[in-house]
Amino acid sequence: MSKLQDHRDVAADGAPRISVIIPCYNAADCLPRAVASVQHQSVQDWEILVIDDASTDQTLAVAGSLAQADGRLRILRQEVNQGPSAARNRGLEAAGGQWIAVLDADDAMNPGRLERLLETAARHGADVVADNLTPYDHGADCLMPAAFAWRQEHRLSFDLLLARDVYMQGAPLGWIKPMWKREFLMARGLRYPVQYRHAEDFYLLASVLLEGASFWLRPDADYIYTLRQGPISKSRSPFSASQPNLANVAASCEDLMQRYAARLSASQKRQLAARVRRFMWGGALVEIRSLLGARRPLAAGVRALTHPGALALYAQVKLAGLSRRLGLAQA
């Protein structure tokens, strides 16, 4: 028996307090780091569920070795690759913990993270708790400053989510990795949306808020989030399998508008509609840049004329960048 197992804290009924769900796809090289970050938590009343999403590398073998060393780790295997939402939902169904913490296989947690989240949840009677992020540039092996400028604990509302998660305006709030009260999700039938392979986090965040969840945020940047593209190294993380899909994001917002039509205010509906437009403009802007990169300026010009919103979005982003640079120069 390992030392970690010797020092395990177990609830009176034998069920763990926290189930940590780690969806994996070709994550053999990074999974041990994620698992180790759970094992080194100050709270030891947990289980880990590794959901292998039909990996083609040695992920399953690595997970098996980790499970042999620590009996609190369980492995669930998907026969075919179904994406992160399906993998997380599989873990949610199998979890025995009161709380569900999602940890991506290429990410990690600071040692006291789970204890701090539990403390906040207990103090506020929260249904969901989350914290700030420390972005990580894998190519440079470098931790970045905290993603969000939060100074104190505060409650997250749906309006605040809409205000803070704006495409091409800083780090999106959809990046956060909450710890969910399992009972709240199960009672309302809430799951990650399998129909979207992008924006699934925002969709579930919005859904729990519209279902009336008490959702609290901590300022501690205890979740180490591996960036898809490193700002220092300028290289793409080898562990990032997700592909941005702006049409998915737009569709998820339209889905929310239909599903929660009776609960949304007129202002919230306008904001969601504006969010859809912004992502559609972003999709057109990506196409324009791709055409220019392929040296097809005529086709890019036609695309720009038919989607003037894309040019407006480009101008907004450039103006915001200029304002930031001027501010730094004057500081």
Determine the average pLDDT of the residues in 279-292.
84
The answer to whether residue 124 scores a pLDDT higher than 50 is yes
What pLDDT does residue 167 have?
76
Model confidence pLDDT, tens digit, residues 32-53: 999 999 999 999 999 999 999 9
| Per-residue confidence (pLDDT) for residue 264, from 0 to 100 | 96
Average model confidence (pLDDT) across the chain: 89
Q: What is the pLDDT of residue 311?
A: 82
Question: CATH top-level class for 3-226?
Answer: alpha beta
User: Could you tell me if 194 and 82 are in contact, meaning their C-beta atoms sit under 8 angstroms apart?
Assistant: yes
Residue 11 has pLDDT above 70, yes or no: no
Percentage of residues in the chain having pLDDT higher than 90: 66
The tens digit of pLDDT for each residue in 295-306 reads 898 988 888 888
- Quickly tell me which residue has 């708790």 as its tokens: 129
Q: Is 133 helix (H, G, I), strand (E, B) or coil?
A: strand
For residue 13, the model assigns a pLDDT of: 59
Collapsing DSSP states into helix, strand and coil, what is residue 76?
strand
How confident is the model at residue 307, as a pLDDT?
82
Is the pLDDT score of 158 beyond 50? yes
pLDDT tens-digit map of 163-204: 998 877 788 898 999 999 999 999 999 999 998 877 789 999
Compute the distance between CA of residue 184 and CA of residue 36 in angstroms, rounded to an integer.
Answer: 28
> What pLDDT sits at residue 241?
67
| All residues at 6 or more sequence positions from 248 whose CB lies less than 8 Å from its CB, including other chains | 196, 197, 198, 199
Contact 252, 165 (CB under 8 A): no
Q: Is the pLDDT of residue 328 over 50?
A: no
- Going from N- to C-terminal start, the domains of the chain cover 3-226, 265-330
Q: Tell me the H-state helices in the chain.
A: 3-6, 31-39, 59-69, 84-94, 113-124, 158-164, 182-187, 200-210, 246-259, 266-293, 297-306, 308-330
Both tokens of 62, joined, read 């690595």
DSSP state letters, 238-288: TT------HHHHHHHHHHHHHHTTTT--HHHHHHHHHHHHHHHHHHHHHHH
Mean pLDDT value across residues 56-64: 97
User: How far apart are alpha carbons 105 and 29 in whole angstroms?
Assistant: 9
Name the pTM for this structure: 0.87
Indicate if the pLDDT at residue 109 is higher than 90.
yes
pLDDT of residue 169: 79
Please report which confidence band the pLDDT of residue 10 belongs to, taking 50, 70 and 90 as the band edges: very low
Higher pLDDT, 291 or 323: 291
Q: Which residues pair with 225 in a beta bridge?
A: 135
Confidence of residue 5 (pLDDT cuts 50, 70, 90): very low
